[in-house]
Amino acid sequence: MDARKRQCLAAMGIARWVPRGVAESLPDEASETVMEAPGWSELEQRVAACTGCDLHRSRTQTVFGVGDRAARWMIVGEAPGEQEDLRGEPFVGRSGKLLDAMLLAMGLARQDVYIANILKCRPPDNRNPTPEEASHCAPYLRRQMELINPGIILAVGLVAAQRLLDTKLPLARLRGELHSYGDNDTPLVVTYHPAYLLRAPLQKKKAWQDLLLARSVLTE
């Protein structure tokens, strides 16, 4: 990462994480913006204490993520809603029930996968995350992905898909094909958000095709 980008991230209060032992060897101006990559418990504590954006003022609690920390499947949604904010767990409301059913159809229980969101805090009135909020939260999700190292990422909904793939393309252009995420080129499949499928059940057939595509990556 070049110095200018580092400066911008530092100005926004966004930390850059490096492997243990590397931070000390960096020049002073670089080491100010880096922190050693946290393990699970430290990451969880940092998220719980995060005041990086204004959403911390209105949240009941942060919603870190849930599931198997050695999962092959990682599911990424948008942001906690009302139920998730109250319970501290992603996808526990109506769309969560549908997500559970979709997973079950693949022979997967909720505890077999890891589920997280682009944002760890609920946006008021369930509005879409702002780019600033998503940027502040991004290092947390990125670190979760590094720690889990999943075989497949399933991005559910437009917000998660656009954010993870750094694109403005519509969902219809993103689903139905294999993408990749991050330095490890982790395979990534995009599908509809369960909240949308509740409103448009006829699209469930396409969502099923997306799930089969995602599964094919792991069985190949």
Residue 117's φ and ψ, nearest 5 degrees, are: -125, 165
Report the distance separating Cα 9 and Cα 70, nearest Å: 30
Q: Are 197 and 98 in contact (CB under 8 A)?
A: yes
Tell the residue number behind the tokens 């931070």, with chain if given: 23
Nearer to ligand URA, 181 or 192 (CB): 192
- By C-beta, is 9 or 115 nearer to ligand URA? 115
Residues found near ligand URA in the complex (CB under 6 A): 77-81, 84, 90-91, 93, 95-96, 117, 157
**Nearer Cβ to ligand URA (93/187):** 93
Q: Which one, 34 or 134, has the nearer CB to ligand URA?
A: 134
Minimal CB distance residue for ligand URA = 77
C-alpha torsion angle, residues 168, 7, 129, 151 (rounded to 10): 70
Q: In angstroms, give the least distance from the CB of 89 to ligand URA.
A: 8
**Collapsing DSSP states into helix, strand and coil, what is residue 120?**
coil
Neighbours of 98 (CB within 10 A): 20
Sheet of 178-181: strand order equals: 66-67, 114-117, 73-77, 152-156, 186-191, 178-181
- Residue 38 or 77 having the CB closest to ligand URA: 77
CB 79 to ligand URA: min, Å: 6
User: Closest approach of Cβ 192 to ligand URA, in Å?
Assistant: 11
Closest approach, Cβ 175 to ligand URA, in A, equals: 16
CB of 205 to ligand URA, least distance (A): 21
